[in-house]
A and B are shown apart, each in its own frame.
Chain A
Amino acid sequence: MKPTRPSQPWWLLSPMLAALGVFFVYPLLSALRTSFYEWDLLTPPRFIGLGNYRAIFGSGELFGSLGTTLLVSVIVVAGSLLLGLGLALAVNRPGRLAALARSAVFSAYVVSWVSVGLLFLWIFDADAGVVNQLLAAVGAGKVKWLTSTAVAPLTVALIVLWKVTGYAMIVFLAGLAGLPPEMQEAAALDGAGPLARLRYVTLPMLRPTAAFVATTSLIASFQLFDVVRLLTQGGPVRSTTVLVYAIYEQLFRDLRVGRASALVVVFFLVLSALTWLKLRAFRSQEPA
């Protein structure tokens, strides 16, 4: 449709553009600028060129938190794909049990990270938490869910998975709902059993959906913060310090605005790369 006046669309867009400018574009540019300074907010900033970048690359801090984030990401992405699809297939049918399962799994997505975090902090408590108590009752040893450098990141990933699988599930459900039933019927008529139908008909057609879930989970797992803050504060010994938590610590614990900004810039580049991956995966999976 033609606009009533040539400038009309821009007026309509102006609030959005203004807000984008002030709260999205400006912060990014500002972070870029600040990343070349050393500043603790209490004393004037000091220009140090690439000093912050050298520090975060050299000290292993950046690679450490990137590595931790990647570890958690891989588990969350793989898990949400498998569980999301599996659950979607299981509950994609009428009946009260399926409806109950759907609601139960999705409800975790709806509640606050604070509730989920505190809840699992208690469940995974090394001494009095229910998981370890049950393990002790059956004779297995107690596991240091949140206090061992090796196990803690896995526990965090597991908790994240618990919370986000619901989202993957409903995306897959929507995907399944969009599949033409004729193909399934034709395959059944041809004598294909449910497993074969799944493998040769359903899954290939769900590839775009899976790509969407994978990349959404990937990007979301790079934005994790709340669960780390509540459960481990990045520890033990930084084993659960994901990227956003590292930025938070730099700013709020250490008051190193410059270094935090440098991390922000790197984070932005990583996120852009991941999103580019998402767009590519999406486009290349367009059904013929």
Chain B
Amino acid sequence: MIGERSVRRLALAAALVAAVVWLFPYAWMLLTSFKTPQELLRAPTAMPSTWRLSAYAEVFRSLPVARYVGLTTVMALSIAALQIAIALPAAYALGKLDFRLRGAAFGLLLSALLIPAELRFVPTFTLFSALGLVNTLPALVLPFAVSAFGTFLLRQALLAVPNSLIEAARLDGASELYIVYRVLPPILAPSLMAFFLVSFVHHWNDYFWPLVMTVDDQVRTLPLGIALLREQGSGVRWHIIMAGSTLLSLPALALFAFSQKYLMRGLGSGVG
């Protein structure tokens, strides 16, 4: 019979293996970025014999990294902000107000989950083509104005807010809009934070939508730029590609390190 202690040892072993399996690829990515092309072709040398930054230099030389980062950040911020601005009143209406057809409105929001970006891109592309909006920032931002996930999250959090609070604000003469945008946000701060982080990171990293909505580098985002490092032409570029991949991962990982608890809570609470 397996005892408590062996279970504990098994669990620790599993945790160790998991840590290795999930950390090794990053480590390898990082180490590769410091090697020379010749080293890469030979049998795997774990450590680079000399630590060279030339791969990173090449990335900065071939891509306008700062511009891509700036643009990607602006885009992700805009999306998150827009989503929150639209989700707050919607969550309030769906969570706090009683009205006929509330179920129907809620159902409509649910159905948005059935229509992911991968389904919408063909008609949205032709729509934006007709409007001349392809390859512009609005094309990258507007289609994500509604976040079903975020709206549900806020609604869930709102259900826990006592009605008396809102009624008191109403008695004080606050308009509904004032309540939605000035009174509730401080109370909903943790959920708003989680919503913001999840949305920001997701859209910052997004590859698919910018890929289909842009045609050149005017509003190219960083993931697209880094993916283009795979360009053909001359020889071994893995060290450069890995340098790019590292640079691309840094913001997400930094944000993750900083806000781990929020992210995990925000996503974990997606249950039910």
Instruction: Determine whether A and B are in direct contact in the complex, meaning some CB atoms lie less than 8 angstroms apart.
Output: yes
Chain A: residues with CB nearer than 8 A to chain B? 1-4, 6, 8-10, 12-13, 15-17, 19-20, 23-24, 26-28, 30-31, 34, 41, 86-87, 89-91, 93, 97-98, 100-101, 103-108, 110-115, 117-123, 125, 128, 130, 133-134, 137, 162, 166-167, 170-171, 173-175, 193-195, 208-209, 212, 223, 225-226, 229-230, 244, 247-248, 251-252, 257, 260-261, 264, 267-268, 271-272, 275
Tell me if A27 and B19 are in contact (CB < 8 A): no
Query: What would 29 A/B residue contacts be, using CB atoms closer than 8 Å?
Result: A2-B97, A3-B93, A3-B98, A8-B176, A9-B97, A9-B99, A13-B90, A19-B142, A19-B146, A20-B146, A23-B143, A24-B112, A27-B124, A28-B115, A87-B18, A97-B12, A97-B19, A98-B11, A105-B18, A113-B207, A115-B252, A118-B242, A118-B244, A123-B25, A123-B28, A130-B44, A134-B44, A173-B264, A268-B114
**Chain A's nearest CB lies how many Å from the CB of B165?**
11
Tell me if A225 and B89 are in contact (CB < 8 A): no
Tell me if B120 and A223 are in contact (CB < 8 A): no
> How far is B268's CA from A175's CA once the two chains are assembled, in angstroms?
9
Interface string of B31-70 (1 = CB under 8 A from A): 0100000001101100000000000000000000000000
A173 in contact with B268 given A9-B99, A268-B115 (CB within 8 Å): yes
> How far is B116's CA from A91's CA once the two chains are assembled, in angstroms?
32
Q: Across the interface, which residues of B come within 8 angstroms of A30, CB to CB?
A: 123, 126-127
> How far is B167's CA from A2's CA once the two chains are assembled, in angstroms?
10
Tell me if B22 and A31 are in contact (CB < 8 A): no
A104 in contact with B207 given A1-B98, A24-B115, A212-B271 (CB within 8 Å): no
Q: Across the interface, which residues of A come within 8 angstroms of B211, CB to CB?
A: 229
Interface size on B, residues (CB 8 A): 107
Chain B interface mostly: helix
Chain B: residues with CB nearer than 8 A to chain A? 1-4, 7-8, 10-12, 14-16, 18-19, 21-23, 25-26, 28-29, 32, 40-41, 43-44, 85-87, 89-90, 92-94, 96-99, 102, 105, 108-109, 111-116, 118-127, 129, 142-146, 151, 163, 166-167, 170, 176, 180, 201, 204-208, 211-212, 223-224, 226-227, 229-230, 236, 238, 241-242, 244-246, 248-249, 252-253, 255-256, 260, 263-264, 267-272
Q: Across the interface, which residues of B come within 8 angstroms of A103, CB to CB?
A: 256, 260
Tell me if A9 and B86 are in contact (CB < 8 A): no
Q: Across the interface, which residues of A come within 8 angstroms of B40, CB to CB?
A: 128
> How far is B238's CA from A63's CA once the two chains are assembled, in angstroms?
36
Q: Per a CB cutoff under 8 Å, which of A19, A110, A111, A167 touches B86?
A: A19
**Chain B's nearest CB lies how many Å from the CB of A86?**
7
**Chain B's nearest CB lies how many Å from the CB of A97?**
5
Tell me if A111 and B252 are in contact (CB < 8 A): yes
Q: Which A residue sits closest to B45, measured CB to CB?
A: A133
